A and B are shown apart, each in its own frame.
Chain A
Amino acid sequence: MFDPTIPTRHPGRVCIIGGGGTGAALAYDLALRGFSVTLLEKGELTSGTTGRHHGQLHSGARYAVGDRAIARECMEETLVLRRIVPDAIEYNGGVFAALSDDEADYAPAFIEACQEAGIPAREVPVAEACSWEPALNPAATRTVWVPDGSFDAFRLPLSFFAAAKRLGAEIRPFAEAVGVEASGGHVRAVLVRQAGSIRDERIECDYVVSATGAWAGVVGKLAGLDVPVTPAPGTMVAVRGRVSDMVISRLAPPGDGDIIVSQRGLSIIGTTQRIVDNPDGILPVDEDVAFMLARADELAPGFSSRAVHAVWAAARPLAGRTSGDGRNISRDFMVLDHAPEGVAGMATLIGGKATVLRAMAEKAADHVCRALGVLEPCRTRDFVLPSWRDWYAEVLP
Chain B
Amino acid sequence: MMPGSTKNEAMVSLVLNIRDGDSHASFSLEAEPHRTVLDLLERLRAGGGVVPAYRHSCHHGSCGTCGAIINGLEALMCLTTAGDLASARPRLPGGPAVEPETDGQGAVVVTLEPLARMDVISGIAVVPGRVFAGIPGEAVYLAAVENAGRSPLPADPEGARAEGGCKPDAAVWRPAGRVRFEACIECGLCVSACPVAVPFIGPAALAAVNREREKRPETAAAMLALAAAPDGVGPCGRHLACSRVCPQAVYPGKHIQMLRNALGAAARHAAGMSAD
List residues of A whose CB falls within 8 A of some B CB. Answer: 43-47, 50-52, 59, 75-76, 79-80, 82-84, 86-88, 90-93, 118, 120, 122, 124, 128, 131-134, 145, 147, 152-155, 173-174, 194-196, 236-238, 242, 245-246, 263-266, 268, 278, 280-284, 286-287, 289-290, 307-312, 314, 381, 384, 387, 389-390, 392-393, 395-397
Q: Which one, B123, B135, B157, B180, contacts A90 given CB within 8 A?
A: B180
Q: A76-B163, A87-B140 are in contact. List 12 more A-B contacts (CB 8 A).
A: A75-B164, A86-B168, A92-B179, A132-B151, A147-B160, A174-B125, A195-B122, A308-B3, A310-B61, A311-B34, A384-B171, A393-B129
* Chain B residue nearest to A154 in the complex (CB): B63
Q: Closest 6 A-B residue pairs measured CB to CB?
A: A281-B46, A51-B57, A196-B122, A312-B59, A310-B60, A154-B63
* Chain B residue nearest to A292 in the complex (CB): B4
Residues of A within 8 A of B185 (CB): 264
A92-B145 Cα distance, complex, nearest whole Å? 11
Let me know if B58 and A51 touch, CB within 8 A.
yes
In the complex, which residues 1-41 of chain B have their Cβ closer than 8 Å to any Cβ of chain A? 2-4, 6, 21, 34-36, 39
Interface mask (B52-83 → A, CB under 8 Å = 1, otherwise 0): 11111111111111000000000000110000
Q: Which one, A45, A47, A174, contacts B122 given CB within 8 A?
A: A174
Give B101 Cβ to nearest chain A Cβ, in Å. 26
Let me know if A312 and B180 touch, CB within 8 A.
no
A133-B47 Cα distance, complex, nearest whole Å? 44
What are some 24 contacts across the A-B interface (CB < 8 A)? A44-B56, A44-B65, A75-B160, A76-B163, A79-B160, A79-B161, A80-B166, A84-B169, A90-B179, A90-B180, A93-B156, A118-B163, A154-B62, A154-B64, A194-B122, A196-B123, A237-B4, A238-B60, A263-B62, A263-B180, A308-B2, A309-B60, A381-B166, A389-B132
Give A356 Cβ to nearest chain B Cβ, in Å. 13
- Chain B residues touching A, range: 35 or more
Give A169 Cβ to nearest chain B Cβ, in Å. 18
Let me know if B65 and A392 touch, CB within 8 A.
no
Let me know if B4 and A289 touch, CB within 8 A.
yes
What secondary structure prevails in chain B residues at the interface with A? loop
Question: With A118-B163, A310-B78 known to touch, is A52 a contact of B137 (CB < 8 Å)?
Answer: no
Residues of B within 8 A of A246 (CB): 153
Q: Which one, A90, A118, A122, A312, contacts B60 given CB within 8 A?
A: A312
Q: Which one, B42, B119, B128, B153, contacts A397 given CB within 8 A?
A: B119
Residues of A within 8 A of B39 (CB): 283
Give B20 Cβ to nearest chain A Cβ, in Å. 8
Give B182 Cβ to nearest chain A Cβ, in Å. 8
Residues of A within 8 A of B121 (CB): 173-174, 195-196
Question: With A92-B153, A397-B119 known to touch, is A80 a contact of B164 (CB < 8 Å)?
Answer: yes
Let me know if A153 and B57 touch, CB within 8 A.
yes
Give B249 Cβ to nearest chain A Cβ, in Å. 8
Give A214 Cβ to nearest chain B Cβ, in Å. 13
Residues of B within 8 A of A44 (CB): 54-57, 65, 125
A224-B140 Cα distance, complex, nearest whole Å? 47
Residues of B within 8 A of A311 (CB): 3-4, 34
